[in-house]
Structure 1
Amino acid sequence: MKRTLISAACCALLAFSAPVLHAQQANGSTALVSGIDPKSLDQNIRPQDDFYGYVNGVWTRNTEIPADKSTWGTYIELREIAQGQLRTMMEATLKNPGKAGSESHKIADLYSSYMNTKARDAAAFKPLHADLARVASLKDKKDLPALFAYLQLQGIQTPIGTGVAPDAQDPEHYTVNVSQSGLGLPDRDYYLKADDAKLSSVREKYLQHVATLLAMSGDKAAAEHAAQVLDIETRLASAQWTRVQMRDPVKSYNRVQFDQFGALAPAFDWQAYFSAMGLASKASSAVVRQPSYLTGLSETISAVPLAAWKSYFNWRIVESYASYLNTDTVKERFAFEGTVLRGVPQSEPLWQLALRYTDGAMGDAVGKLYVKMFLPPETKPRVMAMFDNFVASFRDGIEQLDWMGPETKKEAQAKLAALKPKIAYPEKWRDYSALKTQPHDLIANVRAVRSWSRQQNFDKLGKEVDRDEWSMTPQTVNASYSPALNSITIPAAILQPPFFNVKAEDAVNYGLLGITFGHEISHAFDDSGSQYDAKGRLRNWWTPEDRRAFKERAAGLVKQYGAYSPVPGYYINGELTLGENIGDNSGLSITYKAYQRSLGGKPSPVLDGLTGEQRLYIGFATKWRAKLRPEAAIAQIKSDPHSPGEFRAKGTVMNQPGFYEAFGIKPGDPMYLPPEQRVIMW
């Protein structure tokens, strides 16, 4: 049976091939079942030969990627379930939006204005005329700093990204961060890899796309101006750091006083820029993430004529709003962003796009309603108990490490003890009272939300860091670790099938949801997170010997994953994906230990002919089942720190001693790695 998109009427707890979790016996009692559908396992593939194929082969053969998706798999199915839940919530809100000015009314305004294609078609590019006129009025490059600031305050991308975040050297307070930005393609390689035919083709189509949208906006020399845009972005890409370089938190922490920025980039008036951003009165310095990029940017500003910069900023304005304009513009943007970049032939339905926009604009307000409607009250306590089990298992795991000395172990234990869990939903919600919305004007709403969000961010300066703040919303199908806050976030949306069922037998819950705990906790100790201490301060708390031993093990993962090729000719970047691969490998190791702890010394139950350990690993491989379009896979390889799902599953289990025992993996089996080649980090 081929998979199709889940409808809005989808029940909150439906999941892919969701098994019946309990069976009624003849005497009326309830018996736990395995949580694994034996028919979903490919009996033509031995787990010792190809574990991913054994678990997911049947699904892979019988599943097609929906026409409006670049990828399909367990994660995306759960996101579709959450989208169906959100649509149900939105329909209820639209029927009863509450009084004007209330959060529910603002939610209804945002959604309705997005759905109002008649008003959007009538307005077309008119809402952008004032901004485009502002660019046209530029007389001198000395005016660029004020324009950079104006556009950034409007949420429009420029070659500089400026924002406020916890200070890695003073984690109790916020600081200004300045980073590289300004590209329209997913990564610098798309501009610089001249010998790559696929990337060269994307680059040519991007040039055509820029010209088409500029022409639609009224530009009479769109082809010429598009070439100028590509030239500037290529210059910026040449100056930018690679994604691997940006993963180093020490090298990307460079404190610079505002009055010293001119030494890095003399062609740009930084004092004028910081004043126009409203930051000069609140701060006197910033952390520069990529200092050499600012120097390159300065050289580009000097070398490129003002007329070309006008073309670039016209493009940045048009591109920034293209998703919210008239039908033809939206179609053109999707033709490139969706089809060319990700291989998706068909756009998602309008309601889903409107829902995603509303969710992104007022995520906490949407989250309040979502939690109230779809989170069973018994879920959070059960999950918190599981979290405590993982922390205890990680604590034991640290003490059992044979490559780490007692001094470093003491610091690691202190960091683990200080780890803050954020489960299901925040204790404190964002306040949207200052946000003003309109029922029919989408662009006005986009601007209002961007302005509100920017002000919320800048208002943090001068205040102590809010360690309870969430980085994502409860309805997000994801999870995260923050090194600055030393906290993990596990949103409500993943606390349901197919990741978790409060009534399910433990093994599959550990393999599907539990690995998320293990993975995110492990990020506190990956190659980047391990450079922050218990309080979130960027500090080396390792002995030289222990750090050297850690790096040796990490190098093994770089080599292992760098040999995987999801698309012929394109290999996973083992250095870029190192942190996530450490998270997977360490997380699964801790998941196995946490499951053993949950058994209380008893053997795991055998259900459907599978031990609990086998079901745990099957659940893990099920979590990462996915199919990707080739274009999407290439974009992921170039820009995403996560390895594609098949290799997250396959590569990780090959390093796990418990996996070898559970499935009897022997020398000569394709899934076998000699013990000296297995990477065990934590």
Structure 2
Amino acid sequence: MSLKTTYNRLLASAALGALLLTTGATAKDGHASGKEAGATAAKPELGTFGFDTKGMDTSVAPGDDFYAYANGVWAKNTQIPADKSNYGMFTALADLSQERTRAILDVAKGDPDSMIGRAYSSYLDGATVEAKGLAPITPWLNKIRSVEKSGLAALLAEADRSGVQHFFGGYVGQDDKNPDVYIYTMFQGGIGMPDRDFYLKDSERNTKLQAAYLQHLENVLTLAGEGNAAARAKAIYDFEKQIATVHWDKNDSSDATKVYNKMTIAELAVAAPGFDWATFIRGIGVNEDSLLVSQPSAFTGEAKLIADAPISVVRDMLIVRSLDGFSGVLPDAVAQEAFSFYGTALSGTPQMQERWKRAVDFTTGNLGEAVGQDYVAKYFPPETKAEMDKLVKNILAAMGRRIEGLSWMQPPTKMKAKQKLANFTTKIGYPDRWKDYGKLEIKADDLFGNAVRANQFAHDDNISRLGGPIRRWEWIMTPMTVNAYANFGMNEIVFPAAILQPPFFDPHADPAINYGGIGAVIGHEISHHFDDQGAKYDETGKLADWWTPEDVAAFEAAGKALIAQYDAYEILPGEKLDGKFTLGENIGDLAGLTVAYDAYKASLGGKEAPVIDGLTGDQRFFLGWAQVWRRNYREQNLAQRITTDPHAPSIQRTWVSRNLDPWYKAFQIKEGQNLYLAPEDRVRIW
């Protein structure tokens, strides 16, 4: 996943994924396990060599469906827990991380001097939340009820700072064309469903979702004590649908070049008349004049829609956004209503998480690095970080050899690509410098207040970056996060502690499994810096043209072939992948697996890996890749991902191996099998 363009892309583009993509030790002489190939001093966590062979379905030919061959029995026998929309290796590790964090917080809650203990206790105390009812949020709702158009910009600024979503969002990040400077970036908003397509694309599934969302709007207004809720809900929905029509689609919004639009506040006011931009932008604390506006025409359209809309509809929309946004810290009736749409209707999840799980997520979501210090001390030994560092260096070296050997890249571009690779920063496990939460007030008996103050703290901390030096020590994920990401502006790759565990990484597993698992993840994140968007950033992290026209043409041709390959995948009846939208992640998977394979072979020093349990080293490598993608989805969740997730589903991510020649040799893939590609049709990029 990568950290650029819009805020959504920031949290989706370079992340390993799905949208968790999402393990510890590596390396003596290039071996992830620190042992000679096949030798283990201790038993791996999974199977005899780090892979769960019992989960395979060997009745399926690898060339017909490699995912089913590697994971079919696991998929058949694994039930999705009632509180989840999908379940796989990422979620299994996320559950483990949540349990471990709970143990830390259960100790902390007994200490009145512990900030994380007070935050956790405030969420666990459901009785106090119920007793307070809507009283904590009522003053804010009353502000909304009384706002007029003349005061709307100031109110939205207050909403922004408190964490209430509205017509547009923003964050302070690096200026893509001047990465040593921070700038405020704005992006489109204003819709309650995850993407414009849910409003605008006709399908039976979308018709059902629209009806469910309309009912949700009515229910929330009713919970807020508003009358005539059905008619008012319809007015909100119609307003949001108008907003959806001016939104950019997900492909344009993911294009780093298209979303780079620098303008002053005065220029924005001319481009998007009808809204008091100066009052809003100054109100959120931005004192600089230059902004990046990701989707200018959407801002033009939204400003007009806001100006033309009855203030009553704007008020009602903000009431709904406020209750939905704070639903987790309000009485169960509000929390359950929000979950019924966003959890059940959208994702198919039958049951809300137990309160202790939500309490853990609340605490880590707001005080992640305060919790992370205890987590790392208890669950992430220094040896794991050191071994992971060695494995990263092996993968980086393999990527360097790949770049050097490219036939399609011109020598000047190769030189710059190698400079970019040499300038990489790798972050493993946890930050070198922890976030200071000293200015945040947390009370054990004020859950709603804690949520508002935490949002305000995070907002103010983000805005305070403006005018200051780039905070190269910062992370956007906590150590407890089962994921990884690439940050284009920082030219860095980042691997939180929680992903550095089996099945991704096991110090006692066969090296082939580790290279196919965490090794391919490392390669995935490295290659994000060279994918369809990451390749637009040079060795300094600057959005710049540094490729020759010949390089661009060759790269785009390979990308088009990969787009066509993924466009052909029908995920649900009549619903196919968008190969263009998923291109960056598909390049990441293809390049990551390719580079990890090279690194694995290099680690053997010219020797053949031993056969283990009847499987060759190459077979084990590809099985290691397939194992990390074990995942079952609820249909609604899978359908939502087709529209909103830049990652392909797990089955298709596993199938990327069909582009690698060694996979054909390893499993004797023959022409006529479902996944077979003729050599000339196999996509080769890096």
TM over 0.5: yes
Please give the alpha-carbon distance, in whole angstroms, between the structure 1 residues aligned to 2:571 and 2:555: 27
Please give the alpha-carbon distance, in whole angstroms, between the structure 1 residues aligned to 2:563 and 2:34: 42
Shift of 1:503: 2.2
Pair 1:106 & 2:106 matched: no
AA paired with 1:447?
A: V
List structure 1 runs of 4+ shifted beyond 3 angstroms.
Answer: 28-33
1:157 alignment partner, one of 165, 181, 194: 165
User: What's 2:555 paired with?
Assistant: 550
* SS of 2:576 mapped into structure 1: coil
Pair 1:565 & 2:570 matched: yes
Please give the alpha-carbon distance, in whole angstroms, between the structure 2 residues aligned to 1:352 and 1:484: 34
Please give the alpha-carbon distance, in whole angstroms, between the structure 2 residues aligned to 1:39 and 1:305: 61
User: What's 1:208 paired with?
Assistant: 215
How is 1:2-401 mapped onto 2 (pairs within 5 angstroms)?
A: 33-95=48-110, 97=111, 100=113, 105-139=114-148, 141-193=149-201, 195-279=202-286, 282-401=287-406
* SS of 2:137 mapped into structure 1: helix
Q: Deviations over 1:632-660 (max 9, x none)?
A: 0011111110111011001x111011111
In percent, how many aligned pairs have the same letter?
39
AA paired with 1:188?
A: R
Contact 1:214 1:318 in 2 (8 A): no
Please give the alpha-carbon distance, in whole angstroms, between the structure 2 residues aligned to 1:409 and 1:353: 48
* SS of 1:244 mapped into structure 2: helix
- Quickly say closer, same or farther: Cα 1:30–1:354, change in 2 above 3 A: closer
More deviation, 292-301/307-316: 307-316
Please give the alpha-carbon distance, in whole angstroms, between the structure 2 residues aligned to 1:457 and 1:234: 31
1:436 alignment partner, one of 441, 446, 458: 441
Contact 2:503 2:627 in 1 (8 A): no
Please give the alpha-carbon distance, in whole angstroms, between the structure 1 residues aligned to 2:88 and 2:312: 46
Contact 1:229 1:315 in 2 (8 A): no
Please give the alpha-carbon distance, in whole angstroms, between the structure 2 residues aligned to 1:75 and 1:496: 10
Contact 1:149 1:277 in 2 (8 A): yes
* SS of 2:274 mapped into structure 1: coil
AA paired with 1:567?
A: L
Contact 1:142 1:268 in 2 (8 A): no
Shift of 1:35: 2.2
* SS of 1:489 mapped into structure 2: strand
2:673 alignment partner, one of 665, 669, 679: 669
Shift of 1:173: 1.1
Please give the alpha-carbon distance, in whole angstroms, between the structure 2 residues aligned to 1:435 and 1:341: 34
User: What's 1:516 paired with?
Assistant: 521
Shift of 1:584: 0.1
Structure of greater relative contact order (alpha carbons < 8 Å, 6+ residues apart): 2
TM-score by length of 1: 0.93
Contact 1:89 1:373 in 2 (8 A): no
Please give the alpha-carbon distance, in whole angstroms, between the structure 2 residues aligned to 1:42 and 1:158: 48
Please give the alpha-carbon distance, in whole angstroms, between the structure 1 residues aligned to 2:58 and 2:302: 57
Shift of 1:149: 0.7
User: What's 2:545 paired with?
Assistant: 540
Shift of 1:302: 2.6
Please give the alpha-carbon distance, in whole angstroms, between the structure 1 residues aligned to 2:238 and 2:580: 29
More deviation, 608-617/663-672: 663-672
Q: Deviations over 1:198-236 (max 9, x none)?
A: 111111111111111111111112212211211221111
- Quickly say closer, same or farther: Cα 1:29–1:331, change in 2 above 3 A: closer
Contact 2:101 2:375 in 1 (8 A): yes
Shift of 1:38: 3.3
More deviation, 522-531/323-332: 323-332
Please give the alpha-carbon distance, in whole angstroms, between the structure 1 residues aligned to 2:417 and 2:34: 41
Please give the alpha-carbon distance, in whole angstroms, between the structure 1 residues aligned to 2:155 and 2:128: 29
AA paired with 2:198?
A: Y
* SS of 2:140 mapped into structure 1: helix
Q: Deviations over 1:567-597 (max 9, x none)?
A: 1111111111000000000000001001011
* SS of 2:185 mapped into structure 1: strand
- Quickly say closer, same or farther: Cα 1:30–1:523, change in 2 above 3 A: closer
Contact 1:267 1:301 in 2 (8 A): yes
Pair 1:602 & 2:611 matched: no
- C-alpha RMSD of matched pairs (Å): 1.7
**Which runs of 5 or more structure 2 residues have no equivalent in the other structure?**
1-22, 25-32
Please give the alpha-carbon distance, in whole angstroms, between the structure 2 residues aligned to 1:301 and 1:426: 42
- Quickly say closer, same or farther: Cα 1:681–1:29, change in 2 above 3 A: closer
Please give the alpha-carbon distance, in whole angstroms, between the structure 2 residues aligned to 1:447 and 1:51: 48
1:500 alignment partner, one of 505, 516, 532: 505
Contact 1:22 1:30 in 2 (8 A): no
User: What's 1:649 paired with?
Assistant: 654
Q: Deviations over 1:331-350 (max 9, x none)?
A: 12211111111111111111
Please give the alpha-carbon distance, in whole angstroms, between the structure 2 residues aligned to 1:36 and 1:334: 36
Shift of 1:88: 1.7
Contact 2:50 2:506 in 1 (8 A): no
* SS of 1:241 mapped into structure 2: coil
Q: Deviations over 1:439-467 (max 9, x none)?
A: 01110000110010001001000012112
Q: How many residues align?
A: 649
Q: Deviations over 1:482-531 (max 9, x none)?
A: 11111011010011122211222211011111111000000000000000
User: What's 2:413 paired with?
Assistant: 408
AA paired with 1:601?
A: G
**Which runs of 5 or more structure 1 residues have no equivalent in the other structure?**
1-11, 14-20
Q: Deviations over 1:385-434 (max 9, x none)?
A: 00000010000000111111111111110110111100111100100111
AA paired with 1:299?
A: K
TM-score by length of 2: 0.92
